[in-house]
Amino acid sequence: MWNPMLPTLTNEVPEGDNWVYEVKYDGFRTSLEWKEEGVRFISRNGKDLTEHFPEVISFLEHYQDQVREFLPLSLDGEMVILKTNLCADFSLLQQRGRMKNMDKIKQHAQTFPAQFLCFDALQIGRNLQTRTFEKRKEEIKDLFSSLGWPLHISLLKPISLIPFYDDYQPLWKQLELAYGEGIVAKQKHQSYQQGKRVKHWLKIKNWRKVTGFITEFDPENDYFTTSIYNQNKLETLGVVKHGFSEESFNTLTKLIIEKGEKKKGIFHIPPAICIQINCLQAEEGQLREPNFDQFRFDLSPEECTLKKRDLDLTMLPENVEITSPDKPLWPQPNFLKQDHLIYLRKMAPYMLPFLKSKKLTLIRYPHGVEDESFFQKHRPDYAPDFVGAYKESGETFILCQTLESLIWIGNQGTIEFHIPFQKINESFPDEIVFDLDPPSRKEFSLAIQAAQILKMICDQLELYAFVKTSGNKGLQIHIPLPANGLTYDETRAFTEAAAQLLVQQYPEKFTIERLKKNRGNRLYVDYVQHAEGKTIIAPYSPRSTKEGTIATPLFWEEVHEDLNPTQFTITSVPSRVSKFGCPMRYYDEVRQEQNFTKLKQLINT
């Protein structure tokens, strides 16, 4: 039976020509076993997981015939539920793993599809265990290519190959941005040693660093309980046991036994000793994979608060200076500048892809949304080097390509991020956007109705379409385009035709009247907004509304009469995305899948 080779934990990243690097995903270590009789998934301790992942199995079973010549297969990998292509959601997967009811499993598979990410192979027809890692990877590539499976991480496909990289730095940067679990460094020329924890596989974790003070010590199991303040009340941060050097463990326990008070075998001491802990997550008095990092004599217990914990978990980039964190930017809900920057940091993995390689139009409110604002398109000379630049006919425009630049731009008092429809150095649009503008928020349901009709039109034309609130009054529909897929003339012809259809169908609800006085109380289908040189609010951009609303991507199932767009704010959107995922997560992958046959038929009639 399969017995996985295991990586060794380290904090030092090994470098050199013989090392390569893979993303480490937080899921179940799983083997895909495919024999003549069929395909199965086996867990690390030999448990059969097949029943728990019907969506992956049913995909694989389509390849029954094509795979026959490669059998038997024994592929080593990780079963995951992905949030992004660099980060998996372990708690969702855990939920799935605990399910017993087949209907529940199938329903879960619908809403949160799992994927098998393959990183090694023990057998593809013949035994590969004595071959080098590099060779085994090649064999998997050949197998995947012949079956048409992705050689990179695909969010759409139930199975993918985990690629490896020669350079550690750029991968780590991306991983940090994505709040990934870590990376695994692997030596290219080593064989597969079943059941062994080996030194030629090294895992490096992307630790969050939290601080708390010690309140209890249990000599029975050597657990230290750490606490934090939540509005002057003590609250448990979590327990920690590992990571102490012998010396620090001894001095610490000696101090606690001397100064502490023993009750029922546990020593209690008042808040004084602050420590920093590495962990993967900290929530509700629990730490995931905690280990002691260092003492923090520079901190007082009063500084170890719930607010600080959440700030630490946010992992703001260290090289960006933050000014006036306590300035209210949205006075009405009392959202501070700090809240804004934390929002941008949390949403960066989802927002940055939409900003990338686009000349930005920023709207800045350095003193909050109730004060003066101004537009900015140029990159100021005083911007740090990491802020992107694009030079064009003697002008320098501002780009936002990295996390650092996003936070710096945010710290400059930028609230709104507007993007053009094409990337730099391209003259074709990379997306079509429908702008649905009701006269006011009172008529938001008109936008819902228009969006539903446009969704039907897109379905009929076999186009993938995504929907978001504008963060203000209306809705916008995004249709991703492949590079050089359609010209502006074509996209315009389409938006215009679709707008006409809407107005024809419900002339009392929708209009394309440019003059406000002629619109009445109808929704303005603003197809003119989609054109070269115009811009639209970026997905996940905050808006300068009094409520602090966000241009929020929606699931189509949410686009219903009673949807309230003001519920989506800088505080609610991050938790919504962490719970349900990003509704636009497939945006970039379906770009290539778009088929314009029917669209072209429509515009040529």
Partner DNA sequence: TTGAGCT
Partner DNA sequence: AGCTCAATTCTGCGC
Partner DNA sequence: GCGCAG
Please report, as ranges, the residues that interact with DNA according to CB under 7 A.
Answer: 323-324, 327, 337, 361, 364, 366-367, 372, 374-378, 380-382, 395, 411-413, 435, 437, 492, 512, 514-517, 524, 526, 528-529, 531-534
Give the CB-nearest residue to Mn ion.
526
Nearer to Mn ion, 490 or 526 (CB): 526
Total number of residues binding Mn ion (CB under 5 A)?
Answer: 6
Taking the C-alpha atoms of residue 415 and residue 400, their distance in angstroms, rounded to an integer, is 14
User: Could you identify the residue written with the tokens 């963060």?
Assistant: 471
Query: Closer CB to DNA, residue 297 or residue 382?
Result: 382
DSSP-assigned letters across all residues of 99-155 = ---HHHHHHHHHHS--EEEEEEEEEESEE-TTS-HHHHHHHHHHHHHHHT--SS--S
Both tokens of residue 356? 């990338």
The phi, psi pair for 352, rounded to 5°, reads: -55, -40
Q: Measured from the CB atom, is 208 or 418 closer to Mn ion?
A: 418
Rg (CA), the chain: 27
Which does residue 381 touch among DNA, Mn ion, none (CB within 5 to 8 A, set by kind)? DNA
> What distance in Å separates the CA atoms of residue 590 and residue 451, rounded to the nearest whole number?
20
Task: Report what 127 binds from DNA, Mn ion, none; CB cut-off 5-8 Å by kind.
Answer: none
- Residue 21 CA to residue 24 CA, distance in Å, equals 9
What is the smallest separation between the CB atom of 437 and Mn ion, expressed in angstroms? 4
Q: Are strands 523-525 and 510-511 parallel, antiparallel or unpaired?
A: parallel
Q: Which is nearer to DNA, 469 or 529 (CB)?
A: 529
**Of residues 274 and 436, the one with the C-beta less far from Mn ion:** 436
Please report how close the Cβ of residue 125 comes to Mn ion at its closest, in angstroms: 57
Alpha carbons 562 and 449: distance in angstroms, whole number:
11
Q: Which of 26, 431, 435, 490 binds Mn ion (CB under 5 A)?
A: 435
Q: Give the number of other CB atoms < 10 A from CB of residue 112.
A: 17
Q: How far is the CB of 456 from DNA (least distance, A)?
A: 25
Closest separation in Å from C-beta 535 to Mn ion: 11
Q: Least distance from C-beta 166 to DNA, angstroms?
A: 37
Binding residues among 501-560 for Mn ion as defined by CB under 5 A:
526, 529
Distance CA 329, CA 570 (A): 11
Q: What is the residue whose two structure tokens read 């811009």? A: 535
Burial class of residue 309, CB neighbours in 10 A (0-12, 13-18, 19+): buried
Give the nearer residue to Mn ion in terms of CB position, either 181 or 526.
526
Which tokens go with 188?
């290219």
Return the sign of the alpha-carbon dihedral for residues 331, 336, 340, 342.
negative
CB-nearer residue toward DNA: 376 or 566: 376
Q: Which does 366 bind (CB under 5 to 8 A by kind): DNA, Mn ion, none?
A: DNA
Residue of 24, 186, 346, 473 marked catalytic: 24
416 binds Mn ion (CB under 5 A): no
Q: How far is the CB of 501 from DNA (least distance, A)?
A: 16
Asked whether the bond before 353 is cis by omega within 30 degrees of 0, the reply is no
Min dist CB 536 to Mn ion, Å, is 8
Q: Say which entry of DNA, Mn ion, none residue 380 contacts (CB below 5 to 8 A, set by partner kind).
A: DNA
Query: Using CA of residue 421, residue 426, residue 428, residue 430, what is the dihedral sign?
Result: negative
CA 551 vs CA 146, 423, 566, 580: distances in Å: 42, 20, 10, 17
Q: Is 186 a catalytic residue?
A: no
C-beta closer to DNA: residue 51 or 489: 489
Residues 450-489 that bind Mn ion (CB under 5 A): 470, 474
In the complex with DNA, which residue's Cβ is closer, 6 or 322? 322
Least distance in Å: CB of 527 to DNA?
A: 8
Phi and psi at residue 586, to the nearest 5°:
-90, 0
Task: Look up residue 428 and give its amino acid.
Answer: F
CA angle 9, 15, 19 (to 5 degrees): 80
Continuous segment of H or E residues that includes residue 545: none
Strand partners, 376: 362
Q: Does an H or E element contain 351, and which?
A: helix 337-355
Residue 74: which H helix or E strand, with range?
A: strand 73-80
CA atoms within 13 A on the CB side of 330: 22
Give the Cα-Cα-Cα angle 129, 131, 134 (nearest 5 degrees).
Answer: 115
Cα separations in angstroms, 245 against 241, 250, 587:
11, 9, 48
The minimum distance between CB 566 and Mn ion, in angstroms, equals 16
Cα–Cα distances in angstroms (integers) from residue 312 to residues 144, 236, 478, 486, in the given order: 40, 16, 34, 45
DSSP 219: T
Q: Pick from 437, 443, 490, 547: which binds Mn ion (CB under 5 A)?
A: 437
Minimum distance from residue 531 beta carbon to DNA (Å): 5
Considering beta carbons, is residue 339 or 526 the nearer one to Mn ion?
526
Which residues form the catalytic set?
24
Residues in contact with Mn ion by the rule CB under 5 A: 435, 437, 470, 474, 526, 529
